[in-house]
Amino acid sequence: MNRKIYIYALVIFAISQLASFAQSNINISAGMPVKQGDSVFYIIDRPQYVISISKYLSVANWAAWHLDKNDYGKTGRTSERFITDTTLPIQYYRATHSDYTNSGYDRGHLVPSNERTSTKEANNATFYLTNIVPQTPDLNRLVWYQFEKYCKTLAVDSNYTLYIVAGGVYNDSSWMNEKIAIPDSCWKVALLVSNKNTLSDVDSTTQTIAIMMPNINGLKGKKWTQYITSVRNVEKATGYDFFNALPINIQDAIETKVYKIKPEPAKKKKKK
């Protein structure tokens, strides 16, 4: 059986099993990521996002969220201390704020704090440690943050609606405090829907954008655009199928493209 068709069948099954929230949570309306053989995970369903937690890695497999200009507000960052997520089953390790202290790794948001500033409740939700992965300071504060700012430009200035999924790749099996897996790299994929359209209007011309960034230090001077790839390449690296609520032919068309940044208009020289 064709892999894409097989994965699509898994998607239909997964969504049918989780229909209680899959039909109502806008954050996964473009599709919930699925992977063949991925069976030991826990789904966190919140109004602000949907997150899959790996029992074996003690960290998120992925986080999915919907983003538009209405998600930005004046609330700002509501917390400096991160929250242990007690909604996790007792069989899962519940990360604590102190797990990251003096580890050499930042508490890296998947769903960014600044993309949930419309209300205090929305921003608080981003500080659950289930929404956090270990990221090097250079990744978290530099190129990863640069891309977050670009997403804000798309949502606020260009009026796009974004359907985003983010997570990490775990190949080296490195661990923080022997409890929490450290990703080798971090990725993010986004489906860009223009302000006049909805998901039903997505076609082969719709844009997607994907990044895959190494989780290392030494990234000073790098630009986030150096890490642009295709959604299909991220699928190959992670094993997940994204945006699977779309027809397969549309997925094939939009996920194989590599996003191109439009050059900024040349600045006019001032007359002397």
Over residues 23-39, the pLDDT tens digits come to 569 999 999 999 987 77
pLDDT band at 50 (very low <50, low <70, confident <90, very high): very high
Is 98:132 a contact under the CB 8 Å cutoff? Answer: no
Query: By C-alpha distance, which of 246, 65, 52, 254 is closest to 168?
Result: 52
Is 192:151 a contact under the CB 8 Å cutoff? Answer: no
Give catalytic status of residue 109 as yes or no.
Answer: yes
Mean residue pLDDT across the chain: 90
Q: Where are the domains of the chain?
A: 3-255
Task: Provide the whole-model pTM.
Answer: 0.89
Look at 30-44, 48-62, 143-157, 177-191 and tell me which has the smallest mean pLDDT: 30-44
Partners of residue 189 on adjacent β-strands: 165, 210
Q: Which one has a higher pLDDT value, 196 or 227?
A: 227
**Does residue 106 register a pLDDT over 90?**
yes
Task: State residue 9's pLDDT score.
Answer: 41
Average pLDDT of the residues in 137-153: 98
**Does residue 13 register a pLDDT over 80?**
no
**Does residue 53 register a pLDDT over 50?**
yes
Of 46, 66, 107, 109, which one is the catalytic site residue?
109
pLDDT band at 1 (very low <50, low <70, confident <90, very high): very low
Average pLDDT of the residues in 241-254: 97
Task: State residue 173's pLDDT score.
Answer: 75
| Domain 3-255 = CATH 3.40.50.300 | no
Task: State residue 3's pLDDT score.
Answer: 43
